[in-house]
Amino acid sequence: MNSSPKKVVIAMSGGVDSSLAARLLVEQGYDVTGITMKLWGYLDTGGRPTHDSNCCSLDDINNAKAECALLGIPHYTLDMSAEFKQIVMDNFVSEYKAGRTPNPCIVCNTEIKWHGLLNKLDDLGVDFLATGHYARRVKHERSGNWVIGRGEDRKKDQSYVLWGIRSEDLDRTLFPLGDLSKQEVRKLAAAADMRTADTPESMEICFVPDNDYRRFLNQQYPEVVESSPKGDFVNSKGEVIGQHQGVFNYTVGQRKGLGLATGERVFINKIDVENNVIHIGDKKETEAHSFIVNSCNWLVPESLILDRPLKVQIRYNHDAKPAVINRISDEEIKVVFENPESAITPGQSAVFFEGDQVIGGGIIKSV
């Protein structure tokens, strides 16, 4: 860098990934500032207040602060809890209420971590936003646009949860960990004697630290639970085979915890909120060839994607499968898989890959 170094803000959770990312950026010569977003407090969530594998506790904020102090860079805490409640938590609740299965991390990434934070950072004259995600920012050959490449460590790859980043936001994004494996990250952190080197993995939804979203809804949104009455489980022949406890308790593809004694392996294949009925079937009956997606985000011009063979990933732990996508209205596109897929779940994200590159995505609306 010949002129003055580029200014980068690293979003820090207090865990090992973002802490090491901060260190790498400093080593690469950037002018780095650490930011921890305060997104929620235990008053808003309930759960395990002593559990420490999630951000937003004082310990985590102090960890991030301490790592920055060691690196000799400033650290600030931004209170974004009002935005988080309004945009992420309320959406999480209304999605379950509507019989869908939301992915709040994606909403948070898109609207809070990227769009919200970058808006704030404009006031600070910052060039780039960096995070500790396992993903890469790569050039898409046909369009010349920046797109998201899968992380080197395929087991930790997080490109799926980043599809919503607006193209103009991605232009200002850095992923310092994209070429590293988790093992290498821990090794580098330990070698640098970082206090976060052994922080535990965060697996669950951050504001549902006990991983029990039904407990969260019951405690924090009792009015939603009360307005979601019990109803019928119905099989493919239209017969009532049991009682469900309110649609928000269930997810398409779910097998366990249905309380049905049918003698065979049955799955939820559709949640019909309008009639308060949950449809049950065998594995074959949960499969579908195609589905409808809305709320799309494109990282390359749509014309380069539609009607061409791609791969589509329909949940975090799913291998992207061959499909084509085409537009059916201003708001909606249709995804058609080469072979049927099971448990295509409304509310989850469908992410479009060209090779190993995320070129767009959307929310599954219906099957």
Partner 1 sequence: MKQANSIYLDHAAGTFLLPIVQDYIASQVYKKTGNPSSIHGVGRLASASLDKSRQEVASSIGCMSGEIIFTSGGTEANNLALGGIAKGLKKQGRHIITCRTEHPSVLESCKQLESEGFSVTYLNTNSFGRIDLNELRASITDDTILISLMWVNNETGLIHPVKDIADLARIRNVKFHCDAAQVLGHLPIQIKNLGVDAMTFSSHKIGAPSGLGVLYLRKGTVLSRQLHGGAQEGNLRAGTQNLIGATAFAKAIRYQVDHIQEHHGHYRTLMDQLQNQLSNIPGIQINRDTGEYSPHIVNCSFQNIDGEALFIRLDMKNISVSNGAACSSGSQKPSHVLTAMGLDEKLSQASLRISLGLETSEDEIDKFCHELEYIVHSLQRGNP
Residues lying near partner 1 in the complex (CB under 8 A) are found at 33, 38, 58, 61, 65, 72-79, 120, 122-125
Nearer to partner 1, 55 or 252 (CB): 55
Residue 108 CA to residue 51 CA, distance in Å, equals: 21
Nearer to partner 1, 7 or 187 (CB): 7
Q: Give me the least distance between CB of 87 and partner 1, in Å please.
A: 18
Cβ contacts of 206 within 8 Å, gap of 6 or more:
39, 40, 54, 55, 56, 105
Catalytic annotation, pick one of 56, 105, 206, 296: 206
Q: Does residue 296 have an active-site annotation?
A: no
Q: Give me the least distance between CB of 306 and partner 1, in Å please.
A: 37
Residue 27 CA to residue 61 CA, distance in Å, equals: 22
Closest CA to 209 of 87, 41, 36, 91: 41
78-97 burial code (b ≥16 CB/10 A, e <16): bebbebbeebbbeebbebbb
Q: Give me the least distance between CB of 172 and partner 1, in Å please.
A: 16
Closest CA to 32 of 124, 165, 166: 124
Nearer to partner 1, 83 or 341 (CB): 83
Nearer to partner 1, 126 or 252 (CB): 126
Cα within 13 Å of Cα(227), Cβ side: 10
Number of helices (H), then strands (E), in the chain? 11, 17
Catalytic annotation, pick one of 55, 56, 68, 108: 108
Q: Give me the least distance between CB of 62 and partner 1, in Å please.
A: 8
Instruction: Please answer whether residues 29 and 176 qualify as being in contact, where contact means their C-beta atoms are separated by less than 8 angstroms.
Output: no
Q: Give me the least distance between CB of 244 and partner 1, in Å please.
A: 41
Locate the DSSP E strands across the chain: 7-11, 31-38, 75-79, 128-130, 135-139, 146-150, 173-174, 231-234, 240-244, 267-272, 277-281, 287-298, 310-313, 321-327, 333-342, 349-354, 357-366
Nearer to partner 1, 33 or 109 (CB): 33
Q: Give me the least distance between CB of 120 and partner 1, in Å please.
A: 6
Cβ contacts of 250 within 8 Å, gap of 6 or more:
99, 244, 258, 268, 271, 278
Nearer to partner 1, 39 or 277 (CB): 39
Query: Would you please indicate which residues are annotated as catalytic (active-site) residues?
Result: 108, 206
